[in-house]
Amino acid sequence: MLDPLTATAARVDDPHAPVVTTPVAADAEAVTMAAAHLSREFQSLGHLPLEVHIAALRHLLAVLLLRLAHLTVPVGSPAPEPDETYLRFRNAVERHFTATRRVEDYAHMLGYSGRTLARATLAGAGLSAKEFIDRRVVLEAKRLLAHGDKTAAQISDRLGFVTPSQFSKYFTQRTGRSPIDFRNGVRGRAEGPGPSAAPGQR
C-alpha cells in the first residue's frame, strides 16, 4: 500500500522498531484522528470509484504510520538507552531467527543465562524473550505471505520449521489465522478461487 519513500520514512521495515509506544497527549489526539479517518474511509467502500477509494486509503494509512513512527518524547523523559544485553540479543535474533526460536539457544550463543535475557528483553522491549523471537518470526512470515509468491510449505522451510504443518500451527496460534487465510485476506481474496477464477489464478 505504501510508496517506497513513505515506507522508509515510516520505518515499516525496521526490525528493531519499538514493539509498544505510548503517545503523549498531543500525539495521541493526532494518532486517534488519523486512525478514525482511515477506519471511516475503509468502511466507505462503494462511495467513491474503487481506484479513488484505494488511493485515499493509501494516503490515510501513510499519515497514520508516519505519525506513529515519529511520536515525540515527553519533556523531561528522554528515551532510555537499551542496555548491551538486550542489544546483543536483538541483533542475534535478527541474524538467527530462521535457525532457532529457542531462548536457551540464544542464551548459550551470547553467554548469558535465560533469566538474564528475559530481564533484559522485558526492560528493553516490554515483552518476554520468547515473545520477542516469536514476533520476529511471525513478522517475516507475514511479509513473505503478503508480498511474495512462495508457497506456505516453502516459507515454512525458509523459516526453519520441520514441517509445513508445524509452521501452520505456530502461525495460527499467534495470529488467529492460518497462513493461507492470512494471505487471502491481505490480498483481498476469498477462501479460494471461485468458478470464475481465471486459468492459473491462485
- Please give the average per-residue pLDDT across 5-30, as a whole number: 74
Q: Where in the chain is the domain with CATH 1.10.10.60?
A: 84-186
Residue bearing cell 526492560: 123
For 69-100, the pLDDT digits (tens) are 877 665 555 555 668 999 999 999 999 999 99
Least Cα distance to 156 among 177, 138, 132 occurs for: 138
Q: Which residues lie below 8 Å from residue 71, measured CB to CB, with a gap of 6+?
A: 21, 23, 24, 27, 31
Percent of the chain with pLDDT over 70: 83
Instruction: Determine the topology of domain 84-186 in CATH.
Output: Arc Repressor Mutant, subunit A (1.10.10)
pLDDT over 70 (residue 20): no
Q: pTM here?
A: 0.62
**Average confidence score pLDDT of the chain:** 84
Q: Which residues lie below 8 Å from residue 181, measured CB to CB, with a gap of 6+?
A: 191
- Tell me the three state secondary structure of residue 49: coil
Percent of the chain with pLDDT over 90: 51
Q: Where are the beta strands (DSSP E) in the chain?
A: none
Whole-number Å distance between alpha carbons of 134 and 34: 29
